[in-house]
C-alpha cells in the first residue's frame, strides 16, 4: 500500500517536534533541577531535614522522569491518532479493514492513557514541590514535628 505524502509529512513533523521537545526539556530540566536541588539542600540544616531533602530530591527526579514519559506517550499517541485518521479518510471508500481501525484505536487509547498519566503525575509532583518543602521546614523551625507522610518516606528511602 502506498503511504500518502500528507501522512508521511505529519509523522516526520510530529517526530521532529517530539525530538525538539525532549531536547528542550532535557536542557530546561538540567538547569531547573540543579537550582531547585541546590535550594532544597540549602534549606536543610540538621540530619532530619537533610534526610527529608534527600526524599524530596529523589522523588522529584523520579516524578520528572515519569512526567517526561507521560508527555512522550501523549505526543506519540496523538501523532498515531492523526495519522490513523488521515489513513481512514484516504481509504474510506474501500471496505474497512482491521488495518485502518488499529491506528485509530491505539492512538485514542494512548491519548486517554497519556492524559491520565500526566494528571496523576502532576498531582503526585505537587507533594514534593519546593514551596511545600519550604513550608515544612518553616513549620519544623517553629517547633512542629515533620509530617508523618514524609517521615515514613525517610525511613524507606535511606535504607
Q: Is residue 12 very low, low, confident or very high in pLDDT (cuts 50, 70, 90)?
A: low
pLDDT above 60 (res 159): no
- Domain limits, the chain: 5-157
The candidate with the shortest Cα–Cα distance to 73, out of 120, 138, 125, is 120
Q: Is residue 117 very low, low, confident or very high in pLDDT (cuts 50, 70, 90)?
A: very high
Q: Is residue 33 very low, low, confident or very high in pLDDT (cuts 50, 70, 90)?
A: very low
Three-state secondary structure readout of 102-130: HHHHHHHHHHHHHHHHHHHHHHHHHCCCH
Residue 97 has φ and ψ, to the nearest 5°, of -120, 165
- List pLDDT tens digits, range 104-113: 888 889 899 9
pTM tops 0.75, yes or no: no
Q: End-to-end alpha-carbon separation of the chain, Å? A: 57
- List pLDDT tens digits, range 64-100: 899 999 999 998 898 888 888 877 777 666 666 666 7
Amino acid at each position: 500500500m502506498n503511504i500518502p505524502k500528507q501522512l508521511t509529512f505529519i509523522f516526520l513533523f510530529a517526530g521532529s517536534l517530539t525530538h525538539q521537545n525532549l531536547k528542550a526539556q532535557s536542557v530546561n530540566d538540567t538547569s531547573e533541577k540543579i537550582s531547585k536541588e541546590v535550594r532544597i539542600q540549602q534549606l536543610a540544616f540538621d540530619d532530619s531535614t537533610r534526610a527529608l531533602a534527600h526524599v524530596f530530591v529523589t522523588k522529584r527526579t523520579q516524578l520528572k522522569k515519569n512526567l517526561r514519559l507521560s508527555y512522550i506517550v501523549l505526543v506519540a499517541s496523538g501523532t498515531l491518532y492523526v495519522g490513523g485518521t488521515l489513513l481512514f479518510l484516504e481509504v474510506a471508500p474501500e471496505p474497512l479493514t482491521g488495518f485502518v481501525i488499529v491506528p485509530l484505536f491505539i492512538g485514542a487509547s494512548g491519548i486517554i492513557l497519556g492524559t491520565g498519566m500526566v494528571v496523576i503525575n502532576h498531582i503526585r509532583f505537587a507533594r514534593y514541590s519546593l514551596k511545600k518543602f519550604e513550608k515544612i521546614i518553616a513549620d519544623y523551625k517553629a517547633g512542629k514535628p515533620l509530617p508523618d507522610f514524609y517521615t515514613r518516606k525517610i525511613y524507606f528511602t535511606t535504607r
